[in-house]
Amino acid sequence: MILGAFLATLNQTIMSVATPELMVDFDISATTAQWLTTGYMLVNGILIPITAYFMQRFTTRQLFQSSMFIFLAGTIVSAIGTNFPVLLTGRMIQAAGAGIIMPLLMNVILTLFPPNKRGAAMGMVGFAIIFAPAIGPTIAGYILENYDWELMFYGMVPLAVLVIILGYIYLKNVSEQIKIKADFLSVILSTIAFGSLLYGFSEAGSEGWSSSEVLVPIALGVITLGLFTWRQLSSQNPLLDLRVFKYNMFSLTTIINIAVTMVMYADMMLLPLYLQSARGYTALESGLLLLPGALVMGFLMPITGKLFDRFGAKWLSIIGLIITIATTIGFIDLTDSTSYTYLLLMSTGRRIGMALMLMPIQTAGLNQLPSSLNAHGTAISNTIRQVAGAVGTSLLVTVMTNRTETHFKEMMSTGENRVTPENMILEATIQGINDAYVVIIGIAVMGLLLSFFIKRVKQSHEEISDANLNKATIQDAQ
């Protein structure tokens, strides 16, 4: 299951460095090409809230194997894509499979392991979801420099087949099936709410926050989300049980996770933009800069998990965020001559900080939930991470764009005649990126302050008897 999650997460990030080549091959604009990422994220965000129902309705084997078959089908469609619509269709089919895998894996871990042993297991999950996107640009950069882009998808086909075969041989059912009926109204409201929010925030980076293409979807998403919330609170068998927010540590760590997710997107979006657009480095060189940090994270995640099991999340989170803030400060004064080695060291330092805090924060909140709410907790946690990623990306792009324009106007007004317009644009872009990193530090500081309130709590049992009673009532009614 971890290998399946690794493939799904890796697939989500490899397209970022392939966009320029695909724009040439298909003769499309950057806005159109961006749908390969936006469309993938939209389908993911729409499906994840529904996974709580899937995890109750179907067995572990049925759900995992189905998701991997869907992912494989999407990979094959993408590989043979002769035009942009076919490639986009393949990517969205992939997303339909990938969106189920991560919440399912986390739910299985919560089912299999007691709270005092979940840290080490979640550390291995962290290896999949953090290590994969870090090496994705490196792999994609190498393939694009030496082969056609289709190889990125053809290379995943045998790996996906291997996961399906291993799943058929080894995977066992670990959760109880509850034959409940789907609340189709909730499904529709969830799809509109999260789909609209993700679309609106994704478009904000390119269209601007005042655009109707941004404001209308966000407004629709907020209104529909309100209706969806009302529906869940008034339903006997909600699609997403919002009672998870009654548990204070789950609510606190969810808020911290929003900040941490936004901070994480700094390296994944701003740094490659600086390296390739402002400094002229190749996609491979950009990807290689992230690789040492990815390797360090890969080694640290299981260790961090064991430390969490022993000491809890509070001080791991505080130390991790302090390291992340300290190394991010190193990115607020970038120039057109900042050395590659310096960037590599600072980026690797950020990854060390993230390795210490990412999974402990998430696991600390999930550990408080009774087992009856595990499926809902993992679905909500993953959904919020998707939305936070979209908001964080659009926020950083907006800050960078607006500040770049401001810096360019200031340079023009000072009458720097000896500097060419091209050099002024380059310098303004770098300063805009620096300003975006300042915002990231502010978000990280808020996460750090909240981390001091993390406590080690025991798993709650107050809802379990009610859940079993509801389960029996449902089965009797059927």
190 and 143 belong to one structural domain: no
Interval 369-392 mean pLDDT:
83
Sequence-ordered alpha helix ranges (H) in 34-183: 35-47, 51-57, 60-79, 84-112, 118-146, 151-154, 156-170
Q: Give percent of the chain above pLDDT 70.
A: 92
Choice among 1-10, 195-204, 310-319 with the minimum mean pLDDT: 195-204
Query: How confident is the model at residue 469, as a pLDDT?
Result: 37
Q: In angstroms, what CA-CA distances link 123 with 9, 105, 106, 172, 357?
A: 16, 13, 11, 21, 11
Question: How many separate domains does the chain show?
Answer: 2
Residue 266: pLDDT band with limits 50, 70, 90: low
Query: How confident is the model at residue 204, as a pLDDT?
Result: 75
pTM: 0.80
Q: Which of 193, 217, 234 is the last residue of a domain?
A: 234
Query: How confident is the model at residue 230, as a pLDDT?
Result: 92
Query: How confident is the model at residue 30, as a pLDDT?
Result: 63
Integer Cα distance of 364 and 252 in angstroms: 10
Residue 410: pLDDT band with limits 50, 70, 90: confident
27 and 61 belong to one structural domain: yes
Query: How confident is the model at residue 141, as a pLDDT?
Result: 78
Query: How confident is the model at residue 65, as a pLDDT?
Result: 93
210 and 336 belong to one structural domain: no
Interval 247-272 mean pLDDT:
85
411 and 401 belong to one structural domain: yes
Q: What mean pLDDT value characterizes the chain? A: 83
Contact indicator for 4, 163 with CB cutoff of 8 Å: yes
**Cα three-residue angle 426-428-432, rounded to 5 degrees:** 115
314 and 211 belong to one structural domain: no
249 and 391 belong to one structural domain: yes
Burial of 57 (0-12, 13-18, 19+ CB in 10 A): middle
353 and 455 belong to one structural domain: yes
240 and 129 belong to one structural domain: yes
Give the range with max mean pLDDT: 15-24, 415-424, 458-467. Answer: 15-24
Q: Which of 194, 210, 234 is the last residue of a domain?
A: 234
Higher pLDDT, 59 or 469: 59
Higher pLDDT, 298 or 348: 348
Choice among 57-61, 271-275, 308-312 with the minimum mean pLDDT: 271-275
122 and 251 belong to one structural domain: yes
pLDDT(407) > 90: no
CA-closest candidate to residue 336, choices 419, 454, 230:
419
114 and 199 belong to one structural domain: no
Structure tokens at 338: 């900042």
Cβ-based neighbour number of residue 417 at 10 Å: 6
pLDDT(60) > 50: yes
Domain with 91, as residue range(s), is: 2-183+235-477
283 and 402 belong to one structural domain: yes
Residue 248 sits in a domain of what CATH number? 1.20.1250.20
97 and 188 belong to one structural domain: no
